[in-house]
Amino acid sequence: MNPAWLCLPITGLAAFAQVVPAPAPARPQSEPGPGRELAFPGFNAFPLKGSVKAGGAHSYFAVMVAGSGPTDRDWSNPLIPTPSHGGRDFAAWLQGQGIGSLRYDKRFIGSKDPKLDISLDAQVGDIRAAMQAARSLPEARGKKLLLVGHSEGALLSLLAAGEADAALLLAMPGLSMGRVILAQVKAQLDAAGAPGEVATANLGYLEAAEASIRQDKPLPEAGTQVAPGVLRLARALAQAESRGFVRDTLDLDPWALAQRLPVPCAVVWGDRDVQTWKPDAVPPGFKGTVIQVPEANHLLKRETRPRASLDGRSAATAYGDGTPLADLTPLAQWLKALK
């Protein structure tokens, strides 16, 4: 019988590595509150599709940027085992705060073109294009622009947030992506009871794989102690279609970027999030607001189980549509005070 560490299923943000082509998850037949579909040109005029919700009296209109991998505008992802539309739910929650929104599918959702440009420049260019499109919407007339990024989308939003009027970074990686992936895999190896020398071998292989991506070299040979899940993860990160994007994002420092933002900013984490989490210390140079939502998971949905009992797979069981959003009162208070 294989020990648990050998069959380790790599879950969490690490498993959501950029994958192209990616089939579009099924679109929901309806969504709470009125909304409409929108098409607009992205980076280099690439056609993008989105959904618009009207707001209310709040002075801001939001542009929402989804997280990593094949995650669509609704934050649906084929790697989530149950139907999950957390982004659609959050847009409805924003609407309840008087804030309308535009959320859009990333350029590779539904694409079967392995040559599609999914570079960092292209994806950040799409964020800028979405903000430009939002400013011309009747729903956003007279409003300031709030850029809302989730998970990897929060990291990418940092590269464009200076062009918005405020930034809301949900479940932002508290470390560079390369370090977050290593931390996630270490936590899963520890939870699976991997012996010390096995954990060292797996993390060492993953570090070497990240180094090979930075240097645009082939992946190193994997030793016998490297778990199949770790090997699959390395291969996903290194695949040709998305290697350039991964290389350019591995070492982006979220706090260096956040400290330079010239606009109001809040960073929000759920205290039960096992994919990205609030760091032990926030750099003193960050002048924005830090919010930790009690009993909230990676999608800011309600999670009452102790964080220590959760891993990526078990946590995902509370990502579905049957789980309501957590009590987001601390976030609502920040939005109410936003000028």
Instruction: Identify the CA nearest to 184 among candidates 165, 166, 168, 171.
Output: 171
pLDDT for 187 equals 87
Q: Which helix (H) or strand (E) holds 63?
A: strand 60-65
> Residues 212-267: pLDDT tens digits?
999 999 999 999 999 999 999 999 999 999 999 999 999 999 999 999 999 999 99
Q: Looking at the structure, do residues 273 and 140 belong to the same domain, yes or no?
A: yes
Q: Looking at the structure, do residues 67 and 113 belong to the same domain, yes or no?
A: yes
233 is in which domain, residue-wise? 4-15+177-247
Kindly list the distances between the CA atom of residue 97 and the CA atoms of 93, 105, 157, 174, 326, in Å, as whole numbers in the listed order: 7, 23, 22, 27, 15
Report d(CA 196, CA 191) in Å as an integer: 12
**327 against 77, higher pLDDT:** 327
Q: Looking at the structure, do residues 217 and 196 belong to the same domain, yes or no?
A: yes
Give the mean pLDDT of the chain: 90
Kindly report the pTM of this predicted structure: 0.90
Q: End of a domain among 222, 247, 272?
A: 247
Q: Looking at the structure, do residues 106 and 216 belong to the same domain, yes or no?
A: no
Q: Looking at the structure, do residues 218 and 92 belong to the same domain, yes or no?
A: no
Other C-beta atoms within 10 Å of 77: how many?
A: 21
Query: Per this entry, what is the length of the chain?
Result: 339
Helices (H), the chain: 86-96, 120-135, 152-157, 177-191, 196-214, 228-238, 243-249, 254-259, 312-315, 329-337
Cβ atoms of 269 and 276 within 8 Å: the answer is yes
pLDDT for 49 equals 97
Q: Looking at the structure, do residues 135 and 61 belong to the same domain, yes or no?
A: yes
Report d(CA 157, CA 120) in Å as an integer: 11
Domain count, the chain: 2
Q: End of a domain among 189, 223, 247?
A: 247
Q: End of a domain among 199, 214, 247?
A: 247
Strand partners of residue 100 = 61
Cβ atoms of 28 and 73 within 8 Å: the answer is no
> Residues 36-48: pLDDT tens digits?
999 999 999 999 9
Q: Looking at the structure, do residues 141 and 265 belong to the same domain, yes or no?
A: yes
Report d(CA 49, CA 16) in Å as an integer: 21
Q: Looking at the structure, do residues 37 and 134 belong to the same domain, yes or no?
A: yes
- Rg of the chain's alpha carbons, rounded to an integer? 19
Q: Looking at the structure, do residues 164 and 285 belong to the same domain, yes or no?
A: yes
Which CATH number characterizes residue 127's domain? 3.40.50.1820
Q: Looking at the structure, do residues 166 and 209 belong to the same domain, yes or no?
A: no
Q: Looking at the structure, do residues 238 and 266 belong to the same domain, yes or no?
A: no
Q: Looking at the structure, do residues 52 and 146 belong to the same domain, yes or no?
A: yes
Contacts of 314 (CB under 8 A, 6+ apart): 305
